[in-house]
Chain A
């Protein structure tokens, strides 16, 4: 059966002009999001995950930003070519967003209910009263107790977890096809994180909505994602189903991330293996493999020629010379993730 793809991003490249030169923030990113499914995007700060999302939403300031190549189709609509006005009507209506810090994504001087209602007035043309009633219903749907009373409170009267619920209510007001969640639970505690992740899953099933979940927490990815893309230095270096990424990790960076995190096993205490060094400078990114300088498996070819993707499974691919048919067999690499 053909997959039902909501968002299809191909060969996206984004640069920024700065006083220090041109930063190549995104260097050829491809990914697809299926309808009703969750794509997890994993990567460290500076790997280009936020810039990728901003490009899709038409939020890259141009200048200094520049999209130099690529396509991003949302149900056939080319997002990278739309006018700023059209982009504004897509954001909030077709694509919802939630961010890491709930406090700074709300207007502190405006009542919660009114902020949610605003979305409906702008995108749906609702009257103020109808929008406010709908806002209360949405707050109730995100399980905020006493939603009626809460709607007339200000953001400072909400706890972090409650505020994140209100933001989810706002993001889902227009039933978007796609929700982009950028580290939505990083600022929250694990018990509240669990509540929010449960809520997102529940709402996703009800609306058959797709989610892009950006996070650095592999536990959250394991809980939420169907597909995973791992980003490094502006590129996707490995992607596949969540099981493939966790149980058949094939790029040394993915393996490195897993080994840098503690495993909770009482019998078996493995030491953490940090990834030494730091990501490359994107002012002058390496011509060959970007991970070469930090990679424990690096070979001569890795510093000379950029690896292309090798298909490992039907949806599983890695951008690494170790996966090339001509590479020497390395048992370490295959054992490393076990």
Chain B
């Protein structure tokens, strides 16, 4: 059984009369135990909304999410948060705004444990010290405030806060994009090491394609609220099926000047269209070099094209 099963999940935001933002539109996804799923897409493609909806930070408009066979409520109440936040946690993108500046590091990291049961102050201190060491900080950092740390150190505090309650499943929403290159590698290796020792399952949301390829077992690509491709990471990166994925990966500049000089420009047309009141047809049709009349009218079905490699595109009928 998959650890997380997402079935036809939809999240719409109403923005006035008769206007809805289709942020997440009909996404189904199974996440297996101890797997890292990388989720990529342009900004505005709905990847963060998808992650937040999975964690219950947004109410679900339609569809279901199961955690180990148990259905998660579509609107979380305080009791639901208490129950499921022990198992499902989130690491946020911005290490500056995601930590309360008036709380000490001990209060920030220890808050989850306190909420989840009686714990003596001594035990709490020990646990926080353990996790500080685990993420590469010092136990005496405990009494400091977030402003005393660098971006990379704050991201480690955010990681410790999420992991101290020993969750099974963690949504990492762009956990490294605010960090410098050398620090990104530190944080990615830390996540990988903790994942291996604790057996975590991760949804790793990012727009850095190379980093997602490096960390994830399977890779999912979102475009304008829907999932267009999913498969084993190397298959998706090196043998992409959907025209959007192909263009996305081709436009990723590699740190190889000679290769870049030889690489012709991809020249993907236009920009991601408005996600308000989307009609039928393929969402990528307006920018797709292979688009036909059918693509404008008929929404493509999700199909298995190669082994465990799925895409939604009429080219593969």
- A264 near B237 with CB under 8 A, answer yes
Distance between B210 CB and nearest chain A CB, rounded to angstroms: 5
Q: Mark B210-229, 1 if CB is under 8 A from A, else 0.
A: 11011000000000000000
Interface set, chain B 183-228, CB cutoff 8 A to A: 183-186, 188-189, 207, 209-211, 213-214
Comparing B74-82, B110-118, B140-148, B255-263, the segment that makes contact with chain A is B255-263
- B253 near A217 with CB under 8 A, answer yes
Please, which residues of chain B bring their CB within 8 A of the CB of A242?
A: 257
- B181 near A261 with CB under 8 A, answer yes
Complex Cα distance, B213 from A112, in Å, reads 39
- B260 near A257 with CB under 8 A, answer no
Distance between A232 CB and nearest chain B CB, rounded to angstroms: 10
B293 at the interface (CB under 8 A from A): no
- B42 near A189 with CB under 8 A, answer yes
- B189 near A44 with CB under 8 A, answer no
The residue that B189 contacts in the complex, of A198, A247, A274, with Cβ under 8 A, is A274
Please, which residues of chain B bring their CB within 8 A of the CB of A216?
A: 180-181
A220 at the interface (CB under 8 A from B): yes
User: Given that A191-B268, A194-B268 are contacting pairs, would A246 and B257 also be in contact in the complex, using a CB cutoff of 8 Å?
Assistant: yes
Complex Cα distance, B180 from A197, in Å, reads 21
Please, which residues of chain A bring their CB within 8 A of the CB of B211?
A: 262
A22 at the interface (CB under 8 A from B): no
- A44 near B247 with CB under 8 A, answer no
**What band does the interface of chain A fall in when counting residues whose beta carbon is under 8 Å from B?**
35 or more
Q: Mark A220-254, 1 if CB is under 8 A from B, else 0.
A: 11110100000000000000001100110000000
Interface majority SS (helix, strand, loop, mixed), chain A: helix
A312 at the interface (CB under 8 A from B): no
A272 at the interface (CB under 8 A from B): yes
Q: Closest residue to B263 on the A side, CB-wise? A: A223
Distance between A190 CB and nearest chain B CB, rounded to angstroms: 5
- A159 near B271 with CB under 8 A, answer yes
User: Given that A161-B271, A222-B260 are contacting pairs, would A272 and B185 also be in contact in the complex, using a CB cutoff of 8 Å?
Assistant: yes
The residue that B181 contacts in the complex, of A162, A192, A243, A257, with Cβ under 8 A, is A257
- B251 near A190 with CB under 8 A, answer yes
Complex Cα distance, B257 from A201, in Å, reads 15
Complex Cα distance, B270 from A161, in Å, reads 10
Binding site for B on A (CB under 8 A): 44-45, 159-162, 189-195, 197-198, 216-223, 225, 242-243, 246-247, 256-264, 266, 271-276, 278
